[in-house]
């Protein structure tokens, strides 16, 4: 028996400090994380680019909050595994470089998604906060998804913390009365319809941030074409009060229950802002 306990103690001491603290932390509640299973996005010239979630934007906030005792529940539209933007699987996006990148990838791979319908049917009252990471994927069909609109409206009505980062705020447009029509009008550059269909958004008048046009343009120049629409404008035309600051620097905006981060560099600051909101 003594030998058994010595083996357990040796194994515990061999674990990284973060693993010990994550295991020891009591479960405080659940955070619902939304991601897309789409791997491509059609651009303005009708070519398609590979996309998905941005690794650090998904992993850094969720791993941080998991270590603080929050259970992370991942949901995608049909319960399929989300697709990672392979361009984000790079140590340059992480402070501790390769070690942190590898840990982030392993953490995300350990999250097994459920579908939006399972999420809703299981009861949204089970969740204390909502988080949507970026990557260009939210600019696709995720922002048209009616089930996501239902989820967003429930969290908004109950004033529960709702955090989005980089391109993630595009998904918040699913809470419009006709999000599919709004997206089509954006893609078609139909300004009259955009203005008409952008009315009635639950986040109208909210201060928020997202990836700025200035941060998007270098990628567009490299591709030789534009995104299907510009996120900063799409949010503004629906009534969002956009606040952007600098280039590729951490910037987080909080207004009521909504917490938004401007870019990948905002990952940890957004996680801490969400943690603070959960403590209230």
pLDDT, tens only, 97-113: 899 999 999 999 999 99
pLDDT of the residue at 201: 98
Quote the CA–CA distance of 133 and 57 in Å, as a whole number: 5
DSSP assignment string, 137-188:
GGGTGGGG-HHHHHHHHHHHHTT--EEEETTGGGGGGGGSSSHHHHHHHHHT
pLDDT at 95 (0 to 100): 78
Q: What residue ranges of the chain have pLDDT lower than 70? A: 1-25
Q: Which pTM was predicted?
A: 0.89
What is the DSSP code (8-state) at residue 84?
B
Predicted pLDDT of residue 24:
42
Return the C-alpha torsion angle 29, 107, 215, 44, nearest 10.
Answer: -100
- pLDDT recorded at residue 27: 87
Whole-number pLDDT of residue 10: 37
Q: What is the pLDDT of residue 25?
A: 54
How many residues are present in the chain? 280
**Residue 97: what pLDDT?**
83
Cα separation of 132 and 33, whole Å?
6
Phi, psi of 29 (to 5 degrees): 160, -165
Apex 263 CA angle, 258 and 264, nearest 5? 115
């Amino acid at each position: 028996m003594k030998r058994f306990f010595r083996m357990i103690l040796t194994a515990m001491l061999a674990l990284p400090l973060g693993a010990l603290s994550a295991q020891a932390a009591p479960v405080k509640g659940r955070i619902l994380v939304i991601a897309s299973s789409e791997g491509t996005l059609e651009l303005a010239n009708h070519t398609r680019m590979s996309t998905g979630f941005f690794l650090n934007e998904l992993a850094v906030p969720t791993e941080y909050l998991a270590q603080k005792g929050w259970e992370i529940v991942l949901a995608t539209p049909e319960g399929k595994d989300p697709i990672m933007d392979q361009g984000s699987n790079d140590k340059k996006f992480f402070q501790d470089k390769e070690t942190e990148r590898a840990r982030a990838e392993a953490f995300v791979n350990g999250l097994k998604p459920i579908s939006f319908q399972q999420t809703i049917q299981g009861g949204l009252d089970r969740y204390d906060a909502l988080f949507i990471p970026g990557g260009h994927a939210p600019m696709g069909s995720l922002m048209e998804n009616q089930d996501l609109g239902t989820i967003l409206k429930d969290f908004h009505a109950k004033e529960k913390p709702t955090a989005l980062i980089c391109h993630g705020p595009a998904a918040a447009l699913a809470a419009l009365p006709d999000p599919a029509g709004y997206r089509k009008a954006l893609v078609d550059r139909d300004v009259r319809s955009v203005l008409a269909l952008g009315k009635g958004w639950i986040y109208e008048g909210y201060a928020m941030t997202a990836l700025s046009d200035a941060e998007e343009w270098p990628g567009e120049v490299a591709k030789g074409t534009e995104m299907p629409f510009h996120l900063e404008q799409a949010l503004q035309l629906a009534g969002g009060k956009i606040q952007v600051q600098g280039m590729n620097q951490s910037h987080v905006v909080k207004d009521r229950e909504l917490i938004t981060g401007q870019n990948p560099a905002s990952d940890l600051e957004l996680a801490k802002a969400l943690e603070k909101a959960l403590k209230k």
